[in-house]
Each structure stands twice: as structure tokens, then as C-alpha cells.
Amino acid sequence: MPSLGADMEQGVLVEWLVKVGDPVHRGDVVAVVETPKSTVEVECFETGTVEELLVSEGERVPVGQALARLGDGAVAAAPPPDASGSPDASGSPEAARSTTAGAPPPTTAPAPRPRPLSPVLRHRARELGVDPVTVHGTGRDGALTRHDVEAAASRPRHRLRVSPLARRLAAQEGVDLDTLTGTGAEGSIRADDVRRAGRHTTPSGRVHPPVSTAPRPAAAAPTSDMRRSIAALMTVSNRDIPHYHLTLTVDLQRGLVWMRERNRELDMAERLVPAALLLAATARAVRSVPELNGHWVDDGFRPAADVDLGLILSLRSGGLLVPAIAGADRLTVDETMARIRELTRRARAGRLRGSDLVQPSITVSNLGDQGVDSVLGVIYPPQVALVGFGAVGDRPWAVDGMLGVRPLVTVSLAGDHRASDGATGSRLLRTIDRLLQTPEEL
């Protein structure tokens, strides 16, 4: 059971997407896990054949417990092994637990890459109305092939593949499996698909709430679970962290001009929004102020090796999720945009992956989209800083001794005063400003 958030102690294995005897590859989604905050697709970190499922559907297990055994003896669906990447790195549950106990994520263990998609294939997927994110890739490293996309498009005509839990649910709720479109691997019908179908009388929001069903002990409503979890974390933050707050107003004229020009060159599907620019600049600035990048653990600051940028996404149904962009300081603005898009889509569809939920080393709140001027944030423990962006808007601004109108944004920092002082925080904000003045170098 991987750790899918700093405050996660246990999770419910809602559904297996593989069975004994199935071959699995590193990065394949193998199970669905429910945490207090959301339903998460858990990926496999090894390649092999499923030998035994150690946890049954509906069971609640602590973080670090092995979920399945693979053919080569490795433990599947455990947290990513260390950077060494040795095949036996996650041999025992104890080893797995030690890598997740609030420690920063492994240094260079790459989160499974977003599946590469050639322009031709992307075009074909769009033509057929297939969302590549939902298609299981059979190519190298799980890459999508033309066949995968076309198979997904013709899915309803294929024979039905139904997970055991989905079949049980369908029988309970009287849902006709023939009428469903499966979203699991190779078009298989999953429990979620049945739940959605059985629930069409309720108004559909964009987020599919993790609905709990019969086989599990009754849980409180999902939203209130998420609310409770946010409440607990923020209470700890306000109680334990002596916050200091700083703000700086940044002129975004150059950044936006650059972005507009770049957007004229980009495919419509790859267009940038200002958030991509702001996040890319923040990630790079954080790299140069390592005192703010890391975690406060056992009365001391533990710097993180990478900049894993947490991104606060608010959900239409209320509440929020904080997936992370791993290694954000090494991404171009275009790549940052692609990651923001994927994470937002997956979060809103209620289908984040385990690798999206690594513990961030610092978090960004982009509340500007909600129209507010600035954010005076509350830090996510055990992190030591949170950067906030207000709305980008045209305002009066002195330029060369004259009053001009410029697109401005207020960037803010909430810092943990145990780990850093205001001078360090100021350095971060000034660096973000400086980087945003030369967007072409980002």
C-alpha cells in the first residue's frame, strides 16, 4: 500500500484490476485504492507475473503493507524502489514501509512517464473520440499503439471483460453490463463504471466521488472524509508551524507577451496558460533557494533533492487535491503545461495515479483563477513553504517614471519560521520575479 499523501496511514483496496497469472509491467495501473481524500489508481513498480494477491477487495490495510506478490518475488504496488532501481529493491513489507514513512520521495526514481503519444496517434485518438488517458498501452513501456487506440474506440463491440467486484455490484444494483462502456485495461468494466451507471439519478458533477458500496464497512460520505482530512492537516499546520507571510507584486507583461507568441506556434491542444509560466518560474526559483525546499521532520529541516511541486487543485464538488509535478525544476514551460493538464484532468475525473501523489517538497496555490488578489497560505506539513499566486490583472504601475497599465500578479510566500527567516523567503520571491522577466529562458 503506497503512501498517497503525508497524512495517509491506511487505505482501502477497492478493486483489483489484475488477477493471478496476469503479466504486469512497471507503470501499469493494477489496483484502485481509496484514501480518505480520493480514489487513486495504483501503479505497479516492477515487471513480472502476478503470483498472489495478498489483500482482498474491500480490505483496509496500513501504508507499507505488500498488496501482491509478483513472479520474480518482488512486491507489486509497493512504493517506488530507491534510485538504485535494483529489481529486488522492494522485497519485504518492512523495506516498503521504510521508504514511505514520511520521508521525501526517492531522489531520482522517475515517476512513470506520461505515456508518449505521437502527433499522428493523438490525431487518430481525437478523430475516434478516444481519451488516451483511459487507454491501456501495449507498446514498449506501456506506450499506446495505433491498435490500442482503435481497439478502445471499438470497445462496445468487443466481448465483455468485467472485474469480479463490478459483476457483483451489477447484480446487486440491477445494472445491465451490456449497456456499459468499460474504462479499465483493454476496455474491461470496473466497479466504478457500474457505480456510475447505478447512480445516474443523482446530479452528475465533474468529479466522480468515491462512492462506498456494500462489501465494505460503512464509511462517512466521501466529501466529509475529504473535509475531515483537510481539517486535520490544516489544524496541525496552524498549531505547529509558526508561519510568516511575504508578498511581492510582479509585472507579467513580458511573460504574457512571450506566452501569446508561443501559443501562436503551438497546437491548440498544447496551449499555455499563465499558470504554466508561474509554476515553471517557481520551480526553478525554489531550486536556487534550497532552504525552502524540503520537510521539517523530527525537529530538523531535511532538504529535498528534487523540486517536487505540489499543485493545489480545487474540485467542483468541494474540497481539494494536491498532486505533485515531480522534478518540476527540470521541465520546460511546455512540459509543465502538459503536466498541469494531465493532473487536472485526472484529479477531476477522480482518477489520480499513485505516482501523481508523491509527497511534494513545496506546494503552490494558484487561487488567482478564483479571482482573488493574493493568497496568504497555510503550509502543508511536513513541508516548510507554500507559494501563492493571485489573479493576473491589468493595474496601474510605474514604469520609467511614468504611470502605465501592466498585467500584474501578487506572488506570496508562507514560510515555516522554524526552518527559514524572512530574508530567505524574500530571496525566493525576488528570484521568481527575476525569472519571469526573461520567460524565454525558462
Interaction between residue 335 and other proteins (CB under 8 A): no
Size of the chain, expressed as the number of residues it contains:
442
Interaction between residue 205 and other proteins (CB under 8 A): yes
Q: Which of these segments, 110-118, 171-179, 259-267, 382-390, binds other proteins (CB under 8 A)? A: 259-267
Based on CB atoms, which residue is closest to other proteins, 265 or 400? Answer: 265
Of the residues 260, 330, 417, 418, which one makes contact with other proteins according to CB under 8 A: 260
Q: Which of these segments, 50-58, 238-246, 272-280, 376-384, binds other proteins (CB under 8 A)? A: 272-280
Report in angstroms how near the CB of residue 293 gets to other proteins at its nearest: 25
Of the residues 120, 268, 403, 423, which one makes contact with other proteins according to CB under 8 A: 268
Angle at 388 between CA 384 and CA 389, to 5 degrees: 160
Report in angstroms how near the CB of residue 49 gets to other proteins at its nearest: 38
Interaction between residue 275 and other proteins (CB under 8 A): yes
Interaction between residue 274 and other proteins (CB under 8 A): yes
Interaction between residue 331 and other proteins (CB under 8 A): no
Report in angstroms how near the CB of residue 234 gets to other proteins at its nearest: 22
Q: Which of these segments, 229-237, 265-273, 287-295, 414-422, binds other proteins (CB under 8 A)? A: 265-273
Based on CB atoms, which residue is closest to other proteins, 185 or 347? Answer: 347
Q: Determine the Cα–Cα distance for residues 181 and 248; give it in Å rounded to an integer.
A: 50
Report in angstroms how near the CB of residue 271 gets to other proteins at its nearest: 5
Based on CB atoms, which residue is closest to other proteins, 157 or 316? Answer: 316
Report in angstroms how near the CB of residue 111 gets to other proteins at its nearest: 21
Based on CB atoms, which residue is closest to other proteins, 140 or 264? Answer: 264
Based on CB atoms, which residue is closest to other proteins, 72 or 131? Answer: 131
Of the residues 172, 204, 235, 288, which one makes contact with other proteins according to CB under 8 A: 204
Burial string for 374-400 (b: 16+ CB within 10 Å, else e) reads: bbebbbbbbbbbbbbbbbbeeeeeeee
Q: Which of these segments, 68-76, 134-142, 171-179, 273-281, binds other proteins (CB under 8 A)? A: 273-281
Based on CB atoms, which residue is closest to other proteins, 155 or 339? Answer: 339
Q: Which of these segments, 55-63, 132-140, 201-209, 241-249, binds other proteins (CB under 8 A)? A: 201-209
Report in angstroms how near the CB of residue 134 gets to other proteins at its nearest: 14
Q: What mask, x for binding other proteins by CB under 8 A, covers residues 288 to 327?
A: ----------------------------x-----------
Q: Which of these segments, 53-61, 231-239, 260-268, 352-360, binds other proteins (CB under 8 A)? A: 260-268
Contacting other proteins within 110-139 (CB under 8 A): 126
Of the residues 151, 273, 297, 378, which one makes contact with other proteins according to CB under 8 A: 273
What is the Cα 30 distance to its own chain's centre?
17
Contacting other proteins within 339-398 (CB under 8 A): 340-341, 344, 369-370
Residue 208 vs residues 170, 202, 318, 321, 425: alpha-carbon distances, Å: 18, 11, 12, 13, 38
Q: Determine the Cα–Cα distance for residues 320 and 253; give it in Å rounded to an integer.
A: 31
Based on CB atoms, which residue is closest to other proteins, 83 or 128? Answer: 128
- The residues that touch other proteins, with contacts defined as CB under 8 A, are 126, 203-206, 260, 263-264, 268-269, 271, 273-275, 316, 340-341, 344, 369-370
